[in-house]
Structure 1
């Protein structure tokens, strides 16, 4: 069976929102999993946010219940008073879903699904910067914050930009099984297929919004070697400062001590491994703990299950 994936392109779209999932389905098809891709828009030429024009067909393809419509996101620089899609496009989306088909969005593409009425009464997610705006715009929908993607009654929404790859891999797994998605991810040299409940922002991103060069340099070391034993004295010597100066500067910049930052990196990586079937004991060893006791304590503080 071949699944027809139709990408609905909106003016000022982000290239990666389109190219990421398109590459997943194209690679899956190359590997024999049966996907056909097409591109539809309200005009034949769409100018992307990155300045590259792309071509699309204005006539919608014939789609069936097994087929999928994906709406990539677009730059928010476009005037907000301009509707994301016209009434005929909204009707097409509603009809496809009513006929048993699936619809998906990446980032601000959720706005188009909302305009079509497909978020009403359903859970959805989007880029964290858009969550508040879309919650106000579509009060009958329920936002799920800080996750990569959400599925609710054949309406699949994902967070920002690169999470479209995770969404597409998830859909390939639903069609052909996790091994097929893993094969596609490996072919694309994607580091790992992330689960939908994983956070949009990693520990590395959440604690990098500061201007301390010293702290950034030390974070670079910890990010690269989080599974190693990193005594404070060694980090201070690498940074060329005293332990006291390092601790004071790092804490002021990140809100964490270097040890706590390393622990959070280890915990985040361990949760990823556990979410993909690794035991707590094996995950603990993989991220640098001598045994699972410290990992269990950290998971307990974070409100995670005692066992994985």
Structure 2
């Protein structure tokens, strides 16, 4: 089980904290319900045991840092400051904890103005980063060795992950869940939270499992859940319709409205995406075709040719 430690500073924004925390909490619940190992335990640390927030609701925290390893995450939510957003906000000990955790191979992340804390810890120099659009110029000025990327949801550079303002912390957390456990779990978490499922901060979304999840049709989500889990196996439309609780005709119509394709076309897209990954890792076309459920490589070659056209 991985520790997710939130470093809290005075006047932190509740949504910066709660959005990301909800993602990891929901992911932990999903993993526990499925009997899958590798969940999350959330911890909150601060200089004082009670931390005031920008919205007026105080939150409780531990004052002693837990023992952390390379598989753990430390995240700094953003805060409201009447002066410069850049702080200094961290104590020397807090900055050292961030730096040392990254040094041993751990991941360090920030939401919104939390990027300034990472900069104070010396983690932004020579790395891509971002923050809230109102603070980007100040971040670039305060940490001139950092490469501040504008107008993106989040960036990731050598286990230093930064996100833009407020709600983008949800996108960042979904990305981290997808990296560790796969896009299917991230999609289930996003669906449970009733938010759009995004994967990439600044590139076009690459995963079909997430790219076609930004809709509110429960029937289609149920079918996608089944296809996501079993796309390498033969799937019949009558069986998919039965699992969704609607007729074949209704399923085909609703699926097309939600995703722009039929259920079986969606399955083929997932197979192609996985096959391309395997080929990129050195597998032959024949081996990749077999691994994703094609009887032979001819269909895979046709799909690849169509995608390249």
Are residues 1:4 and 2:3 paired?
yes
Question: CA–CA distance in 2 between the matches of 1:165 and 1:132?
Answer: 23
Once the two structures are superposed, what CA deviation does each residue of 1:12-40 show, in whole Å capped at 9, x if it has no partner?
00000000000000000001150010000
Regions of 4+ moved over 6 Å = none
Question: CA–CA distance in 2 between the matches of 1:138 and 1:127?
Answer: 15
Once the two structures are superposed, what CA deviation does each residue of 1:229-279 show, in whole Å capped at 9, x if it has no partner?
xxxxxxxxxxxxxxxxxxxxxxxxxxxxxxxxxxxxxxxxx9xxxxxx98x
Question: CA–CA distance in 2 between the matches of 1:80 and 1:167?
Answer: 21
Q: Secondary structure at the match of 2:116?
A: helix
TM-score by length of 2: 0.63
1:113 corresponds to which of 109, 115, 118: 118
Tell me what 1:73 maps to.
78
Tell me what 2:193 maps to.
188
TM-score by length of 1: 0.63
Taking the TM superposition and a 5 Å limit, the aligned residue runs for 1:244-255 are none
1:191 CA drift (Å): 2.9
Q: Is the 8 A contact 2:171 2:197 kept in 1?
A: no
Tell me what 2:26 maps to.
27
Question: CA–CA distance in 2 between the matches of 1:142 and 1:153?
Answer: 13
Tell me what 2:256 maps to.
none
RMSD over aligned Cα, in angstroms?
2.4
Unmatched segments (≥5 aa) in structure 2 = 32-37, 205-259, 261-267, 270-306
Equivalences, count: 206
Q: Is the 8 A contact 2:86 2:139 kept in 1?
A: no
Question: CA–CA distance in 2 between the matches of 1:186 and 1:152?
Answer: 27
Q: Is the 8 A contact 1:4 1:36 kept in 2?
A: yes
Unmatched segments (≥5 aa) in structure 1 = 200-269, 271-276, 279-305
Question: CA–CA distance in 2 between the matches of 1:136 and 1:87?
Answer: 22
Taking the TM superposition and a 5 Å limit, the aligned residue runs for 1:196-211 are 196-197=201-202
Once the two structures are superposed, what CA deviation does each residue of 1:30-72 show, in whole Å capped at 9, x if it has no partner?
0115001000011111100000000101100111000000000
1:192 CA drift (Å): 3.0
Are residues 1:177 and 2:182 paired?
yes
Taking the TM superposition and a 5 Å limit, the aligned residue runs for 1:116-131 are 116-131=121-136
Tell me what 1:148 maps to.
153
Q: Secondary structure at the match of 1:42?
A: coil
Question: CA–CA distance in 2 between the matches of 1:123 and 1:193?
Answer: 19
Q: Secondary structure at the match of 1:114?
A: helix
Question: CA–CA distance in 1 between the matches of 2:64 and 2:159?
Answer: 23
